[in-house]
Amino acid sequence: MSIAQSAIRTPGFVTPVHDAQRVFRAALEALARPTTRQSVDARVTPPAPLGPEAGAIVLALCDEQTPVWIDDALRRTGEVGAWIRFHTGARLTESAGDALFCVASCPSAVPALETLASGSDEEPHLSATVIVDATAAKPTGSLVATGPGIRGSAAWDGAGLPGGFLGAWRANGALFPRGVDLLLAEQGAVRGLPRTTVLRETGDA
């Protein structure tokens, strides 16, 4: 069986329109309420090593108009790429900087934010969204999030963020209205980190 045939046999959404709308709403709510856990009933079985929640988000957000980058671990067998292409029609790009969606199999695989598409002042929506498979991620520290969509402040353990992230995130925020957004796929849920969210370590002034 070829890679493409194997990927086709790996299920996508059972009811594509309904399931895609449901996951799409969860992703939007996650970005509207940064760091707040939003339930995702994935109902997909992507090829390993892509997790079901990250896979469901990819299927809900990506289409033939959205170039997609996947990291080396996801690209290695060819099955993840074939699955994404078959179920979404999206074109895979070799360069993360050319993608509107970047899919990372773990936090350490997230590309450097400054290398990604950040849109323009006139078209800030033409920026990259990074989808991180954070199902096995560990807390990275004690963080406080503030900004639009957060009442006062929100405490968060930072699970799903790559090492040394805060400096890169501050630089990303300084680009506003341009900048990159993140979606962190957890077991049964998604958390959003839009470019407008400010993160600091607990105890920082």
The most confident of 2-6, 132-136, 201-205, by mean pLDDT = 132-136
| Tens of pLDDT, residues 179-191 | 999 999 999 999 9
| Tens of pLDDT, residues 9-61 | 667 888 888 999 999 999 999 999 999 999 998 889 999 999 999 999 999 99
6 confidence band (pLDDT: 50, 70, 90): low
98 confidence band (pLDDT: 50, 70, 90): very high
Assigned token pair, 187 = 């077991």
- Sketch out the chain's domains with CATH numbers: 3-190 (3.40.50.11310)
CB atoms within 10 A of CB 74: 27
- What is the per-residue burial (b if ≥16 Cβ within 10 Å, else e) of 180-205? bbbbbbbeebbbbbbbbbebeeeeee
Strands ordered across the beta sheet of 129-133: 38-39, 189-193, 181-186, 129-133, 101-104, 68-70
80 vs 93: CA distance, rounded Å: 13
| Tens of pLDDT, residues 145-168 | 999 999 999 999 999 999 999 999
Sequential DSSP letters for 132-192:
EE-TTPPP---EEEESTT-SS-EEE--TTPPTTHHHHHHHHHTTTTS--EEEEEETTEEEE
120 confidence band (pLDDT: 50, 70, 90): very high
Distance of CA 4 to the CA centre of its chain: 24
Against a cut of 0.85, is the pTM above it?
A: yes
For the cut 60, the answer to whether the pLDDT of residue 88 exceeds it is yes
Pick from 133, 142, 124, 123: nearest CA to 179? 124
37 vs 45: CA distance, rounded Å: 22
Percent of the chain topping pLDDT 70: 94
Give the pLDDT of residue 1.
53
* β-pairing verdict for 101-104 and 129-133: parallel
Beta bridge partners of 198: 146
Residue 6, helix vs strand vs coil: helix
Read off the pLDDT of each residue in 192-198 and give the average, rounded to a whole number: 98
77 confidence band (pLDDT: 50, 70, 90): confident
For the cut 80, the answer to whether the pLDDT of residue 128 exceeds it is yes
**What angle separates helix 52-61 from helix 79-88, to the nearest 10 degrees?**
40
Contact assessment for residue 56 and residue 30, using Cβ atoms and an 8 Å cutoff = no
For the cut 60, the answer to whether the pLDDT of residue 205 exceeds it is no
